[in-house]
Amino acid sequence: MVSYTEQNDRRHTGRMFTAKVKAVCGSCNNGWMSSLEGDVMPTLLPMVKGEVIQIAPEAQELLATWTLKTALMCQLMQSDAVRNLPTSHYADLFRDRRLSGQMRAFTSYMVPPQYLNGESPVEYRSIPSEVRFTSSDGLQHRLWATVVTLRIGYAVLQLVSVGPEGYDYDLEPAAFAPYTEQIWPVQESICWPPRALGSISDLDQFADPLKETKVII
């Protein structure tokens, strides 16, 4: 039996990416995190402006790492009850300075949408899910996943984190193939942007891609 649940779908718009997070120590904030911000800007800023850009493998890794770092920083501004990414990700990022094999990162493109209160320059979404099932040997399994989607200007960046280890996860977003490029694990040089997400409904679907996720036992 397989069951799927969603909880704590968090959506925020506004100035979240310019807020200061006091939970980060000075040596990290002024050290490797500051370096990461500087290193990623030659790639990220043209994307935010919607410009055509070639993204080499090294730049893909920087962009994916920045996406994870920013997702974790945004999460610190939430209450404990809605922090969907595991706390272990903070120590893992500090140690490795890169994403793990249990993660995927993607990028897409969208003209900043018009909401009821006007155009939103930035947006953060965090959607958790859980799958419980019983395998043929009678064992109970609980798998979790969190999808964090960041939209800044024209750039859409997405982090998918799944667990626990020991399973093979099919995380290829086949339904969004024309609209997304994978940046972690890195690919050969890619040309950005892909085809644009055309509506808020498209973005809603892109931000919650795991309802049909396959798990291979």
In angstroms, rounded to a whole number, what is the distance separating the alpha carbons of residues 214 and 69?
Answer: 27
In angstroms, rounded to a whole number, what is the distance separating the alpha carbons of residues 26 and 33?
Answer: 10
In angstroms, rounded to a whole number, what is the distance separating the alpha carbons of residues 120 and 45?
Answer: 17
Instruction: Report residue 213 as tokens.
Output: 């996720």
The b/e string for 142-178 (b: 16+ C-beta within 10 A; e otherwise) is ebebbbbbbbbbbbbbbbbbbbeeeeebebebeebee
Instruction: Report residue 30 as tokens.
Output: 């002024």
User: With a threshold of 0.75, does the pTM exceed it?
Assistant: yes
Query: 147: which residues sit within 8 A by CB, 6+ positions away?
Result: 125, 126, 127, 129, 158, 159, 160, 207, 208, 209, 210
Long-range contacts of 20-24 (CB under 8 A, 24+ apart): 21/73, 21/76, 21/77, 23/76, 24/73
In angstroms, rounded to a whole number, what is the distance separating the alpha carbons of residues 60 and 56?
Answer: 6
pLDDT in tens, the chain (217 residues): 233 334 445 455 555 445 454 555 666 665 688 899 999 999 999 999 999 999 999 999 999 999 999 999 988 887 776 778 988 999 999 899 999 988 999 999 999 887 777 777 789 999 998 888 888 899 998 888 899 999 999 999 999 999 888 877 776 665 677 899 999 999 999 999 999 999 989 999 899 887 654 444 4
**One-letter amino acid of 37:** E
